[in-house]
C-alpha cells in the first residue's frame, strides 16, 4: 500500500503519494497505481488516458493548465526520469483555499506522485535536464475546454525553485491572471 504525505491536508484532496519500492541488486520494482489501494487514500478518479511528456531544459515551466467541465480532469502525476517541482492550485470558486497552491518535488529517484483533483490548475518546473513526466487523466483531452492561468501570478505566489528565466510556451507566457478569473469550478464542501 502506498504511503500518504501528512502535508497533503494543506489543500484538501491534493494528495502526495509515495508508492513503496522493492529493491535488490537488479534495481527496483514499484506498483505505481492500484485502483483499490489509491481509493483507500481518497483517490477516487477513474483514469481513461495516460500522457507522457519530455522537457529537455532545466527550468522549463508548463502550466498552470486545466480542463473545464464537462471534460474536467483529475490527474495522477509522476516523474519517470529527472526531477520536477509539481504544483496544484485550487481554482474552485467558494473554496476556503481558493488561489492557494501546494507543490512537491517528484523525481525518478524518490518515486513520489501527486494526485490533483478536478477543480485544480496544474503546472510544473523541471529541475533536471531531460525530465519525463507521466500522468493519468480522468477524462480525455478536449482542446475546446482547456484553460490556463499565469505561472507567475503574484496573487497565487508560487515559490518556483528556478535559478534563471523559465523556458515557456507562448501560450503559458500569455495566460491570464487569477484576478478577474471566472472559474468554471465550484467548491462542494
The catalytic residue among 38, 104, 115, 135 is: 135
Beta strands 131-137; 49-55: pairing state: antiparallel
Instruction: Give me the catalytic one of 65, 104, 115, 122.
Output: 65
Is 65 among the catalytic positions? yes
Q: DSSP for 95-106?
A: -TTTT-EEEEEE
- Cell numbers standing for residue 187: 467548491
State how far the Cα of 63 lies from the Cα of 4, in Å rounded to an integer.
25
CA distance 2 to 109: 16
Residues that are catalytic: 65, 135
Amino acid at each position: 500500500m502506498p504511503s500518504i504525505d501528512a502535508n497533503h491536508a494543506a489543500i484538501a484532496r491534493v494528495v502526495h503519494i509515495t508508492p513503496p519500492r522493492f529493491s535488490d541488486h537488479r534495481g527496483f520494482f514499484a506498483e505505481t497505481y492500484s485502483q483499490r489501494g489509491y481509493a483507500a487514500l481518497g483517490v477516487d478518479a477513474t483514469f481513461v488516458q495516460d500522457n507522457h511528456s519530455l522537457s529537455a531544459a532545466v527550468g522549463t515551466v508548463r502550466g498552470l493548465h486545466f480542463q473545464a467541465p464537462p471534460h474536467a480532469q483529475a490527474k495522477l502525476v509522476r516523474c519517470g526520469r529527472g526531477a520536477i517541482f509539481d504544483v496544484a492550485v485550487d481554482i474552485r470558486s467558494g473554496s476556503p483555499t481558493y488561489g492557494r497552491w501546494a507543490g512537491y518535488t517528484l523525481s525518478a529517484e524518490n518515486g513520489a506522485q501527486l494526485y490533483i483533483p478536478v477543480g485544480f490548475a496544474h503546472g510544473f518546473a523541471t529541475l533536471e535536464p531531460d525530465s519525463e513526466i507521466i500522468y493519468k487523466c480522468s477524462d480525455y483531452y478536449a482542446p475546446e475546454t482547456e484553460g490556463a492561468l499565469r505561472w507567475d501570478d503574484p496573487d497565487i505566489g508560487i515559490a518556483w525553485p528556478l535559478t534563471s528565466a523559465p523556458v515557456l510556451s507562448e501560450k503559458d507566457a500569455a495566460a491570464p491572471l487569477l484576478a478577474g478569473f471566472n472559474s468554471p469550478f465550484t467548491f462542494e464542501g
